Every structure is written in C-alpha cells, then in structure tokens.
Structure 1
C-alpha cells in the first residue's frame, strides 16, 4: 500500500487522543480514590499532589533515554512499548489497595510513558515539509481534546460504575491506542543504521543549539503558564461569588476553555505558520497569551474571566504547533526523536512544578497578581525569542555579505 501521510496523521491523532483521555480520566476522583479506596485519611492534599506530580517527574527524567532509543530503533516501536505498558499499568491500579503501591505504579506510568512525543516525532518526520505545520497543529488538538473529555468521562464512569472501574476504562482506552499504533501507524523516513547516542551527549548537543535551547525554555514557560493555575482557579471562582456547590463545575468549564480554544485554533495557526512563518506565529501567540493573562487584573466577574481565558486560549493555541514545527526546522533528522523527547521533558517538569508553585504563591499573594506574573513571563519569553530571531537574521546577512565579498575578490 502506498504511504499516505494524511492516513498516518489520522491514525496518530487517534492514538494521542485516546492516550491523553486515559490519563486525564483519573483527575476528578484521584483524591477521592486515595481517601475511600486506599484509606488515606491524613495529609490527603499532600498525597494527591505527590500522586499527581510524581508521574510527570519520572516522565521528565526518562524522556531523553526513550528519545535516544527512538532515534536508534524507530518511533513506532516506542509507541508500541509505551501503549501496551501503560495499558497494563492502568489495569494494575484496579487491583491496588495500598497507597504506597499506588505511588509505585504512578512512578512506572511516568517511566514507561512516551506515546505522545513519539507520535509527534513520527508525524514531524513522515509528513511533507510544506504540510508539517498543518499536521503538527492538528496533532495539538488531539491532546487538548483528550484532556478536555477525559475528566468528563472519568466523572461519569466513576459516578455510575466506581473509581476502580474508571481505571479499567483507562486501560481499555490506552489498549485501543496501542493497537491502533501497532497495526495502522507507518514509519517511512528512518535510518536504522544510526548509532545510538548517550543521554549526556544529547544534552550537550541540545545546549549547543541556542535556537533549540530557547524553544525548550519557551515550552517550559508556556506549559507552566497553564499548570500554575490548576490549584487556583476553583479558589478564584469562589472569591468571585460562585457557590461551593457549583464551583467545581464552573472552574472545570473555565479550565477547559483553553482546551476548546486550542481545538478551534491550532490547525489554523499551523496553516498560517506555513504562510507567514512559524516565528511570527509563535511571537503572536506568546504576546497575545501574555496580554491575556495581564488583563486579568481588570476582570472581577465570572463571565468576564471565562471570556478572557477563552481569548487567551485562542492565542495560546499557536504556541505549541509553532514550537514543534520549529524544532523540526532547527534540528537534524537523526536527532529529531531525542529533540521531541527533550521537549517532553521540559513540558513534564513544568507540569509538575506549576501546581506546586501556584499553590505556594496563592497562599502569599492575591491570585490576580499571579496572572500578571504569568503574563509577564510569557511576554519576556516573546522578547527573548524576538532577540534570537534578530540575532540569527543579522548573522545570516553578515554571512551573505562576506560570501559576496569573497566571490567578488575572485
């Protein structure tokens, strides 16, 4: 059968969608599960925070290793490894009755993760260059859509069937993703004779690439800008006068507004990036989302807050597809799997640190000031990125001038 990048995109979108949904299914009831099923009565907040963050920490630390294997043995084997491993681990959660064993399984979930970065790397390396931005924009919607629907599905399943049974549902969904990747995903552009690198060398290589290093920093800041608000939005909504009975639903709607905006706008940003340049789209996304956060200091009502978050999401939707496309532009093909794994590490570390720092800051300052700090960090990232573009442009023009002089002197 002739290779079709469009078919591959649909297959990998489906896999990432199911994988993202499976993880986020447990978010609404994780503290309840620890309390009612695993008998955690003291320090429940700490247990919940550790159970949430430890998976991301483990994933961040191991991602460069999986990226090295992906560049040696292929991205599809990483999809299969991760998919079936996670399906088994979600199944094990159903049988756990001890909170410490639950944490051990959460650690292994992080250590054996990698489905999403491998999928993005596979799309990036097996899509025609002129279609890469569009394809990566589409892939951004897979994770966003899965993360939006996951908590809703998890809430329904846990309510009607039970918290343990929700883990069975997660296991089944990841198994579907693994089977889809095994039988339908194709990998064409891959050099199987490549020598496997060491993680230490990969980190040195990444740091030597200034453009790529700055992109990793922007990934961390942009992910942090979303996750720092996770422990604060419900509290913020309560301070706006929303009743405790409807606060969870209201904050859930507001939090999902960013994801909905991403689903709407990410493919469009990908297309525009191909036309006007991904650098411009990334700048627009960072500046727009930065201003959207700063403007929060002027909004005190629930409706205005929701509208502002949605507007922020429309701009933020341009950030990740542009970064992914620029990673392709700024790294060698043989380094690409490791590049996307390092990208995943930066994102996972920010995902872990965001809620912790957000909770600490929320205890010492008014929440709307945290939005302002958040916005300033995004605007600073935009400034640094703009300076990098100008530096590269001037260096390129100097190179052209020196080439002309050498040619003329001959």
Structure 2
C-alpha cells in the first residue's frame, strides 16, 4: 500500500493524544494525593514540586540516549517501548502507599518516557517539507487535546471514585497509545544502515548549529514558564475560595482552558507560520502569552482566572509548534531523532526546574507574584527572538557536523 503521510499523521495524533491524556490525568490531584493518600502533611508545596520535577529530570538525562537509538533503530520502536513501559508504571503507582516509593516510581516514569518526542521526530521526518509546519501544528493540538481531557477526567475520577483509580485509568489510556503505535504507525523515511552515534558527538553537532542552540534555549524557557505553575494551580484555586473537595475538579477545568485554546489556535498558527515565517509567529506568541501571564495577577476569582488562562493559551499555542517547525527546518533528516532527543532534554530540564522553583516560590511568596515573574520571563524571550533572524535554509540529510555551522540565516 502506498505510504500516506496524512494517514500516518492521524494515527500518531491519536497515540500522542492518549499518551498526553494519561500523563495529565494526575495533575489536578497530585498535591492532594500526596496529602491524603501518602501522608505528606508538611511542606506540601515542596513535595509537589519534587514529585513533578523528578520525572522530568530523569527524562532529561536519558532523552539523548533514546534519541540516538531512534536514529539508529527507528522512532516507531521508541513509541512501543515507551508506551508499554509507562502503562506498567501507572499500574504500580496505584499500589504505592509510601511517598518515597512514589518518588522512585515517578523517577522510572521519566527514565522510560519518550513517546511524544519520538512521535514529533517521526512526523517531522515522514512529512513533506512544505507540510511540516501544518503537521506539527496538528501534533500540538494532539498534546493539547490530551491536556484538556486529562485534567478534567482526573478531576472527575478523583472526585467520584478516588485518586488511586485515576492511575489505573492512566495505565489503560497509555496502553491504548502503545497498541496503536505497534499496529498502525508506519515509518517510511528511515535509513537502518546508519551508524549509531554517541551522545557527546551529538552534542558537538548540535553546538555547531547556533540556530538550533537558540531553539533549545527557547524550548527550555517556554516549558519552564508552564511548569513553574503546575504545582501551584490547585493550591491557588483553593485560595480563591474553592473547597478542598472541589479543588481538583476546579483546577482540572482551569488547566483545560489552556488546552482548549491550544486546540483552537495551534493549527492556525502553523498555517500562519508557513505564510509569514515561524520566527514572526514565535514572537507574537511570546508577547501575547507574556502579557497574559502578567494580567493573571489582577484577578482573584475563579471565573476571571479561568478566562485569562484561556486568553494566555491562545497565544502560547504559537510557541512550541513554531519551535518544532524551525528545528525541522534547520536539522538534517538523519539527525532529527537526536535533535528532538536533545530538545526533549532541554524541555525536561526546564520542566523539572519549573515545579521545584514554583514550589519554593509558592512557599515564600503570594502565588500571584509568580504570574508576574512568569510573564516577564516570556517577554524577555520575546526580546531575544526579536533580535534574531529565524528564517533558515533547510539542512540536507547526512550533513556532517562541522558543516552544520554554515547554515545561513535570512531576514524573516
């Protein structure tokens, strides 16, 4: 049967949707789970930050290794490996009763992760070059849709039948993602005779490409800006007058507002980026989301807060698809798995640091001031983007490391 990148995109979209939903199910109730199920009564903000962050630290350390394997053996095997491993670990989470054991399980979830970056690399490599912006925008809606449904389902499940059952639901959902990847995902453009690289050579090749390094920095800052609020939203929602029994559900709705906005706008930003340049779309997204974060300081009721989160999400939806599209443009096809592995490391380091710093800031500052800090950070990124030239010449496949530095920039 003739290869169809559109059919492949649909299949991978569904897999990433389920995988993202499985992860995000636990977001609204994780602080409450630590408190009520695992007996954490002191320094809950810090414990929440560590529980979020340890997964991402492990993922950041291991991602270049998985990226190297994906370029050697294929991105599809990485989807299968990650999906089935995470399903088992979610089941184990259901039985955990000790907070330290729970942290160990979260650690292994990071070590065995990699479904989403492998999916992005596969789409970026198996999609026609002039369609990558559109395809990656569509992929952003997959993660966003999972983020929409996940917290909402997590809030409903934890509210009606208990927090532990949500972990079993996550296991079932990620198992579906693994099965979908195993049966229907097709990897068309892949050279299995390529020699496997090592992490140090990959880092040297990446360092020789200043545009790619800048994109890694932006990936890190963008993810940090999101995750600094992850352990605080539920606590902040409780501070707005929502009862403890309803906090998980309300926080799930607030989380979902950003996901709904991303679902609406990410494909549109992808098309706009193909027309005017992804550098310009990235700049617009950073300015809008930075201002949106600052404005969240002003409202102290749950409905106004949710509306502002939605408005922020409309602009932030432009950021990651633009970065991913630029990575595809500036990296050769046979380096793309490693490129997204390194991008995943940057993302996960920031995602690890965000909850830790967010938890610490939440313990010493009014949480509203964290919104201002976050907004100013994104506006600083906008200044950085405005001072650079981002329209790049696509790098050819099998380009040697020392020639990547010769990728030229043109006015976007």
Cα contact 1:214–1:385 (8 A) shared by 2: no
Match of 1:404 in 2: none
Distance 1:249 1:165, change over 3 A: closer
Work out which of the two has the higher radius of gyration on C-alpha atoms and give 1 or 2: 1
Deviations 1:325-353 (A, max 9, x none): 00001111111001111111122222221
Q: How far is 1:106 from its partner?
A: 1.9
- Pairwise CA RMSD: 2.7
The aligned runs of 1:231-310 (5 Å cut-off) are 231-237=231-237, 247-310=247-310
Instruction: Name the SS for the 1:188 alignment partner.
Output: coil
Give the gaps of 5 or more residues in structure 1. 399-410
Rounded Cα–Cα distance in structure 2 between residues aligned with 1:381 and 1:43: 32
Q: CA deviation at 1:289?
A: 1.1
d(CA) in 1 for partners of 2:34, 2:97: 9
- 1:272-321 CA distances to partner (integer Å, 9 max, x unpaired)? 11111111111111111122223344545544433322111111101111
SS of aligned partner of 1:136 = helix
Quickly say closer, same or farther: Cα 1:365–1:336, change in 2 above 3 A. same
- The alpha-carbon distance between structure 1 residues 28 and 374, as it changes in their structure 2 partners (threshold 3 A), is closer
1:177 corresponds in structure 2 to 177
Q: Distance in 2 between matches of 1:120 and 1:390?
A: 20
Equivalent residue, structure 1, for 2:311: 311
User: Structure 2 regions of 5+ residues with no counterpart?
Assistant: 394-406
Question: For residue 355 of structure 1, what is the aligned residue in structure 2?
Answer: 355
What is the 5 A alignment of 1:195-234?
Answer: 195-234=195-234
Structure 2 counterpart of 1:85: 85
C-alpha distance in structure 1 between counterparts of 2:115 and 2:369, whole Å: 36
Work out the CA distance in 2 between the residues paired with 1:237 and 1:379.
25
Structure 1 residue 144 displacement after superposition:
1.4
Deviations 1:254-280 (A, max 9, x none): 332111100110011111111111111
For residue 361 of structure 1, report the CA deviation from its aligned partner.
2.4
Task: Verify the 8 A CA contact 2:28 2:251 in the aligned structure 1.
Answer: no
- TM-superposed CA distance for 1:226, in Å, is 1.6
Q: How does 1:181-192 map to 2 (within 5 A)?
A: 181-192=181-192
**Structure 1 or 2: more helix by fraction:** 1
Q: Which SS does the other structure have where 2:389 is aligned?
A: helix
Mapped pair 1:23 → 2:16? no
TM-score scaled by length of structure 2: 0.87
CA contact (8 A) 1:261 1:313 kept: yes
| Cα pair 1:211 1:388 within 8 Å, conserved | no
C-alpha displacement of 1:42:
6.0
Per-residue CA deviations over 1:109-143 (Å, capped at 9, x if unaligned) read 11110000000100111011111111111111111
